[in-house]
Amino acid sequence: MYRGVILGGLAFGAVFALERVFSNMAADLARYDKLRKMSGQEPVLREVLRYFSGAVGEQGANTGGFIAGLGNDVIRYAKMKGM
């Protein structure tokens, strides 16, 4: 019984922490998606979901391109934010 209470408390704490992180990042993610839309790319969440579904289906065959593209996007976003 105590184990369930402890695990439930930990799970609640983890979900609460994730919600706080997401709520703090929501404005930045919206701005990032606008930048991706201007460059003709799809929203980052959709690309991440496709990446994970492809990685599960193909056991991660073509993962380098997505990671390199995401790194380029982060660098471009940092440059634009610094202007």
Which residues are CB-neighbours of 18 under 8 A, at least 6 positions away?
Answer: none
Tokens of 49: 């979901």
What is residue 15's predicted lDDT score, i.e. its pLDDT?
93
3-state secondary structure of 83: coil
pTM of the predicted model as reported, rounded to 2 decimal places: 0.44
- Which sequence spans correspond to the domains of the chain? 2-82
Q: What is the mean pLDDT of each run of 10 residues along the chain (83 residues)?
A: 88 92 85 85 81 63 65 77 69
Which DSSP string do the residues of 3-49 spell out, in sequence order?
HHHHHHHHHHHHHHHHHHHHHHHHHHHHHHHHHHHHTTPPPHHHHHH
